[in-house]
Structure formats: structure tokens, C-alpha cells
Chain A
Amino acid sequence: MVGIAGDSSVTPAVAVRGLSSGYGSVAVLHEVDFTVGHEIFAVLGANGAGKTTLLATLAGLLPAFSGSIAYHGTDVTNLAASESARLGVGYVPQEAAVFPDLSVLENFTVGGMIGTRPHEERLEEVFETFPDLRDKLHLRAGNLSGGESRMVACGRALMQDPNVLLLDEPTAGLSPLYLQLFFEKIADIHRTRGMSIVLTEQNATQALAIADRVMVLSLGVGSEPMLADAVTTDLLREGYQI
């Protein structure tokens, strides 16, 4: 469900203007522009396109060299990651997304350290989304399989009660079974919880199936965002440089 695409009168959940970012003095992203409304917004691109850099910058973990980031109209450019989280940004990185020495339940509880709703209520909602985790609460998160780890990471972010969820390649390295399941979960989270989701993916086919709009990132340069239905094979080939 696209909430604000093309509607300038509604404050977007995420507004990125001329964003450049990178590591040290090396710029990876170059003047990226897009807005995200009440929708699933997919950022597609090949390895090295800058997808992880983009999401880490949106989460406040990397500095913006120039440009701006706003959540629901509040400028958060170069705000500390902890402050961004308090403004309602949930972040699930591609790698090392769980705290391995904590149990599954403890991963959820550290996620729920902010927010005002009762802890138990939020936990129940996470179990509704990921019922398989109910039996694994006592396990060390570092001992889980790749798919289970992703579910825990996603559940931990949901415990923060975010209104914007940043998912960095959530299906990378997952088996086909988990891959399909995970995309269904993402669509379900958006539908039932009503949060905006920014998702980076290499798997274009699956991402296009659940996304409302798409931006293709190529060597740190973002395309004009477009409706997922309008994405063509040629455009993807150009973006992925194949």
C-alpha cells in the first residue's frame, strides 16, 4: 500500500535528500534522493552498489557526508543511532544481526528496552509473527541456524515498536524455503503492523513481488524511485550492470 508516493502534502516516513555517505573519506553513496511513505520500499542493486551503506547511514551508524535524512519530518541527519532508534527506527543488519551470547528471549528483551507498551504484549506480537521461536527462547542465539537468526533479528527490531523498519538483505544466504517464508513475513509485518519498510535486496524477483516501490542503486547512485510494477528487465540489467 503506497501511502504518499506522488502526494507532496503528506509528510513521508523517510525523506532522503542528496545523501552522500561512505567509510572514512571514501564516498560510497552519491547524492541519493528518495522518500518512503506507508509502504514497502525496496532498494535493489548488485554487490557493492552501496545498499548496506545506505541502510547503515539511515540507521545512524555511518555519517552522512552531505545531504539530509528525515523521519516523519524530523531531521535526523548524523543523529546518533540510539537517538534514531528512539525516534522509531528499527534496523536489522545483513550480518551479525543477533547478539550471539544472549538467549533468544534476551535478544528480544534488549530490543524492548525502549518503547512504552507492555513488554509481554510486544513479545506476544513477535511470537504471532514468528511462532517457531516460541520453542527456542532458552537457546543461545549464536547457536541458531541462519534462518532462525534472521527471525530473531527481525523480532528484536520489532520489539522496539518501530514505525520505520530497515532490513538489510534479510534473505541473503537463506535456503529457498526460508527465503519464501521470509518475504511473506515481511509483507505480513507491513500489512498487520502498518509500518514503513525499507528493504535492500539482491533477489529482485522476490523483492518486486512484495514491494510497492523500488529504487535501483548502482555504484552508489540511485535511480528515480518507481512503482514495482513498472520495473522492467532492461532497467534491472542496467542497474545490476549485467
Chain B
Amino acid sequence: MTAYAAAPHAIRPAERLSEIWRRSATLLVLIAAIALLALLAGQADAVLQRRVIFCLVNLVAVVGLYIFMGNSGVLNFSVVGFMAIGAYTSALLSMPAAMKGTFLPDLPLWLGAMQVPHMLALLTAGVVPALIALLVGFPIMRLSGIGAAIATLSLLFIAYIVLGNWDSLTGGQGSLMGLQTYVKLPVAAAVAGGAVAVAFWFQETRWGIALRASREDEVAARASGIRIPRVRLIAFVLGAFVAGVAGALFAHFQGTLRVENFYLDLTFLLMTMLVVGGSRSLTGAVAGTFAISLVTELLRQTEVGVTLPGAAVTLQTPAGLGDVALAGVMLVIILFRPNGISGGREIDEMWRRRAGRKHRKLPEERNA
């Protein structure tokens, strides 16, 4: 742990230990929140359970988005593309050979005959996007601002077009069906917890701290000897790994796979979750995912129709309003609370603020 590396003042051993504890509080609370959600959902009916699993799968993806975008402050539209690659990787590796013969008769022979255990397929679903990210990210990481946004958007389109037209490998625009749906509550919660832990570990490493320094002030960070493209690349690759795993979870949760699902709508949903929660902190990524999942679920309920206790009429909103409301929520947050629910702070930082104790000033407070 290099947690105390962020603290500029000299640190005595006892102080150092308590600092580590304090910073780890964020991770512990976030993991506890995920565990609690999963435990509560375990008592609920099957429909609600599915919603919670979906929320946890989205959480993994949002954490993948956060690792790069949150820490670097550079927009990243490519996460959903990496999710798609992960999803297809896992599907192709874990589908029974007979199934592949039916849906994808033109697969190369070695791939058609291959069937690996789910956990190995899940891991590979992270590794393949990570390798691709390493390859394409190497040059792209020099870009910032609009350039990076357009470049990563281009990556998303390329992934979408290639996967959507590579008929022999992915079945093209059609659906890939019959994937084993092993992603239930325990798996989803465990992977979500793992993703949060990885993201937390990363942002406490020297790379994570250097990357966030470059987010606050690119020029000053470069002047301090931070090699920005390199630390960005590390985050980009790690983010792609997590996103790929999220994609695989998505595939094995739904049981069917369509390229169409991995496009701008999902990109917008994930980005909404991150921005609403506050893209500058891991706490924000988790809070935003939970909040938006709750809002979408409530809106879905009203589309089905709710009868308030004591009221004689059933409230029902027309279908499709939920999507409009989601975009509306996103807009309102950007306009009125651009740092999101969390204000860009981690939980331990919120506690310290509340306690009113003296602590290191955060860069965003200096500007405020």
C-alpha cells in the first residue's frame, strides 16, 4: 500500500497506520453496501432479484468506466465496445460445441470445438479486451479533451461495426442464444465487489495518484515528472479488463447476446450512472449506479402501473417515458451539481469534512 504517498507531510508510523485505515474505510463501506444489497435481494422475489443482478452487472461496467475516465478526467466512450468484446469472448469460449454448430456454423474448427470452464472464460473475457486496449491505447493516450473523446468514440463504432458484421464469428446482427445463465446474485455480487476492490487498489497506487494529479492539472503533472500517456494507458487497460468482465457477466446474465445491446444507449446509461454519482470518486461510481438503477426501477414500476396505498386510482405512465426521464436526470445533474451526488469525494473524505477536522484540501475545494 502506498496510500500515504499522497500525504505531503512527514508521517509517523502510528499516523501512517491510522491513515491507511481511514482511507480503507471507503472500500469497506462500498463492499458492505454491495453485500447488503445482495443479501436483501436474496429475500426478494425473482423479478426484483433480476433487477438487482442487472444493477450489479452495470456496477462492474461503471467501475470499468470509472477506472479510466474518473481518474484521468478524459472522456472514454469505448468502454461498451470492450464490454462487447468481452461478452463475445466469453460466449465463444463457453458455449457447448453443439450450440456453436447451430448458431455459428462457420467458426474456425479449433474455436468451434473448444469449451472452457466458465471462470476461465470470464477471465479471458477480461484479458482479450485488455490486450486490445493496450494495443490501441498506446497511441491514443496522448490525446486529451475532444480528441480523446472522438478517438474513443471511434473505437466504439469500430467494435460495433466489426462485431455486427463478422458473421462467422459473432452471428452478425442476429442474436446469439443459449448461453448458460450462471450469473446469479452471488456471482454478480462477488464480481462487483472484486471490481470495486481493484478500482480502489488502483487509485491508491502511485499510478492512480499520478493519474489523478494529471486530471487536476495536466501541465503541472507533466512538470512534476509524471509520464501522462503511460499512467493513462495503465488505467485504460485495467478499465478495459473490468469492462470485458462486465460484458461477459451481461451475456451470461441475459443468456442471449446482441451487438445492438452494446451501443450508444448502454454507453449513455453507464455514463449517466458515473456522472450522476460523481465521476471523480469511486464512491460516486457506486452511488450513481445504485441511484440510477433505483430511479429506472421506479420508473419501470410506474410504467407497469402502481396503486398507491389508500388511493383508488392506478398511476400509470406511458411506456418510454423512463428513458426520457433518465436523460432528464442526467441533464439536471450536469447543470446543477456537476460533481454528482458524491461531490467527487470518497466516503472517508466526507466523514472528515463532517467531523470538521483539519485535513488536506482537495483540489476542487481550492477552486470553489
- Chains A and B bind each other: no
Which residues of B line the A interface, CB within 8 A?
Answer: none
Which residues of A line the B interface, CB within 8 A?
Answer: none
